[in-house]
Amino acid sequence: MMCTRSSWAARSPALRRSSHDGCTTHTLHPSTRSLPGYHPGGRVEGVGGSIRRGQNTVKLHGYFRSSTSYRLRIALELKGLGYENVPVNLLASEQKGEAFTSRNPFGSVPMLEADGRDRAQSMALLEWLDEAYPDKPLMPSDIEARYTVRELTYAIATELHAPLNLPVLKYLKNEYSQSQEAIDAWYRHWLARTLEPVEARLAQLDTGDFLLDAPGLFETVLLPQVYNARRFKYDVDAHGHIARIEAACLALPAFQHAHPDNQPDNPENSA
């Protein structure tokens, strides 16, 4: 029999992490921010009190609409960690320039500059952040609950994000001469293929506002994908559990601060 949310709790108290809203004292004033180019050497924007390990301030090199950068912003906010935001303009292909690829050979965002290293790959980064900054963990301590979080999170990160990534969409358009209509259909096809089983699993688990009792790794990876799904006019509301978790997350300051609408490199926020 499938383990429900309530039976988990009864069998495994470790599942019930202490609740926190991920609220930090950061105040964002997007409208007062400029739209900087990629200036990796300089401080572009401070957000709240930056975390320091050793002598280094953590810097997040990202793009406001990048779902993988959005993951990192949510995680940093949930953990209450300040950071410097270094915008990388994907539309200007700054991620492919020598200044960036000499530091991150993947040529993609996010890149986290932390502890004297330039770190790439969002899932590795999320796991590293949780290990390096264990306060307000993104993962529960119970092994079965950790498995559940990973099952759902990695379905989204590996099966959903990969075929919907911008270089894939560009390749379909430029190399295979696909119309925007065909690309939109591709996008919705792959969304459904993963969001439907995720929704079914959430129903089996009888989830509430969050997968567990506070947002963690799953919500950190889910929310950016749901944001993209809505941009592509996918009917997210047909998935009741996913839509409810989305609404509960968006009500929290941590998710609001991390949202693409509130980023300094969002052109809507330039004066």
Ligand X SMILES: N[C@@H](CCC(=O)N[C@@H](CS)C(=O)NCC(=O)O)C(=O)O
Shortest reach from residue 89's CB to ligand X, in Å: 11
Position 121 contacts ligand X (CB under 6 A):
yes
Among 24, 85, 95, 220, binds ligand X (CB under 6 A): 95
Separation CA 268–CA 271 (nearest Å)? 8
Separation CA 130–CA 76 (nearest Å)? 10
8 A C-beta contact, residue 214 and residue 18: yes
Shortest reach from residue 113's CB to ligand X, in Å: 14
8 A C-beta contact, residue 94 and residue 39: no
Separation CA 231–CA 210 (nearest Å)? 22
Shortest reach from residue 141's CB to ligand X, in Å: 25
Instruction: Mark the segment that binds ligand X (CB under 6 A) among 33-41, 53-61, 161-169, 210-218.
Output: 161-169
Position 165 contacts ligand X (CB under 6 A):
yes
Among 108, 228, 263, 266, binds ligand X (CB under 6 A): 108
Nearer to ligand X, 107 or 163 (CB): 107
Element (H, E) at 13: none
Among 24, 85, 104, 122, binds ligand X (CB under 6 A): 122
8 A C-beta contact, residue 242 and residue 199: yes
8 A C-beta contact, residue 236 and residue 2: no
> Which residues touch 59 (CB under 8 Å, ≥6 apart)?
83, 84, 85, 86, 112, 113, 114
Q: Which two tokens mark 58?
A: 């953590």
Residue list 51-80, contact with ligand X (CB under 6 A): 66-68
Nearer to ligand X, 30 or 107 (CB): 107
Separation CA 166–CA 189 (nearest Å)? 16
Shortest reach from residue 157's CB to ligand X, in Å: 7
Among 167, 176, 180, 267, binds ligand X (CB under 6 A): 167
Instruction: Mark the segment that binds ligand X (CB under 6 A) among 103-111, 212-220, 251-259, 262-270.
Output: 103-111
Position 221 contacts ligand X (CB under 6 A):
no
Taking residues 169 to 208 in sequence order and writing x for each that binds ligand X by CB under 6 A, - otherwise, the string is ----------------------------------------
Position 236 contacts ligand X (CB under 6 A):
no
Among 3, 14, 123, 172, binds ligand X (CB under 6 A): 123
DSSP 8-state secondary structure symbol assigned to residue 155: I
For strands 59-62 and 83-87, give the pairing: parallel
Strand-pairing partners, residue 180, are: none
> Which residues touch 46 (CB under 8 Å, ≥6 apart)?
82, 84
Shortest reach from residue 184's CB to ligand X, in Å: 18
Q: Which residues bind ligand X (CB under 6 A)?
A: 66-68, 90, 95, 107-109, 121-123, 165-167
